[in-house]
Amino acid sequence: MLSLSVIVTTYNRPDALEAVLRAYAAQTYPVFEMLVADDGSTSDTQALVEQYARSAPFPVQHVWQEDQGFRAAAIRNKALAKARGDYVIFTDGDCIPRNNFLAQHARLAEPGWFLSGNRVLLSEKFTRQVLAQQWNLPDWSYGRLWAAWVQRKINRFSPFITLPDAAFRHRHANEWRGAKTCNLSAWRSDLISVNGLDEAFTGWGFEDSDLVIRLLRAGVKHKSARFATPVFHLWHQENDRSRMEQNEQKLLQALNSVHIKAARGLDQYLTAA
């Protein structure tokens, strides 16, 4: 059975993280470890993770870095350096997985390919209700999910339709657009080969696109996990995008270059892991 490492990125949102962690405790896939990649949260998050780790039926690590602004690339690299699974799933601390989320990623995993899934966005009001009432969204029936979509509590219903592993999943093998680290998985060896994420990307935006571009350049193809691995993305205020223009310029440079390895990436942590 494939061993999985789940890297959940979070920052100062313990109520959402608690809902996410609760969903991972109900996963049908038994062989995985969890690394909570914490981009500088206060002690509330640490206390939550430590409490969760004491009862979780799988290993849990809290990987923390000092709050110096949005540094998702760095904290994901630090967590990745500590990961021991053969296969790594990246997601976020505001993305609630369905109960078969890990089983589906493991089922679709294929040598030479990475997977990207999608998300269903929750409205602000519905998110507040879900967290306040501790509703267990992964257990909702198709009927309830359909009703939530009709009432505009969620933005889409179609991602919940499950399709088999078939040729359509390989249709966009060289496409970098659309792959996001809220629902992305890859072989750990492939992530090491491209030196993880590029920490030149600070502030919000495009560090995941850069990773995908370099994976493709290294010969690792893009396989779709849509209609198999949706997550419920809890509403949040838009992140500070003051560095978006600079990061977009870095992305354009990456598209026009030939490099595969991140200049400042995973290797700086591997020796200490």
29-56, pLDDT tens digit by residue? 999 999 999 999 999 999 999 999 999 9
Interval 69-94: pLDDT, tens: 889 999 999 999 999 999 999 999 99
68 Cβ contact partners less than 8 Å away, ≥ 6 residues apart = 40
| Amino acid at site 122 | L
Contact indicator for 82, 35 with CB cutoff of 8 Å? yes
Please tell me the predicted confidence (pLDDT) of residue 259: 87
Contact indicator for 149, 230 with CB cutoff of 8 Å? no
pLDDT along the chain (273 residues), means of 10: 97 98 96 97 98 96 95 96 98 98 98 98 98 96 98 97 96 94 97 96 80 97 98 84 69 77 94 65
HSE of 127, CA atoms in CB hemisphere, 13 A: 20
Contact indicator for 220, 113 with CB cutoff of 8 Å? yes
Please tell me the predicted confidence (pLDDT) of residue 206: 78
Six-digit token string for 54:
């004491």
271 by Cβ neighbours in 10 Å (0-12 / 13-18 / 19+) ranks as exposed
C-alpha 161/C-alpha 269 separation (Å) is 40
Phi then psi for 92, rounded to 5 degrees? -120, 160
6 Cβ contact partners less than 8 Å away, ≥ 6 residues apart = 24, 32, 33, 34, 35, 88, 89, 91, 102
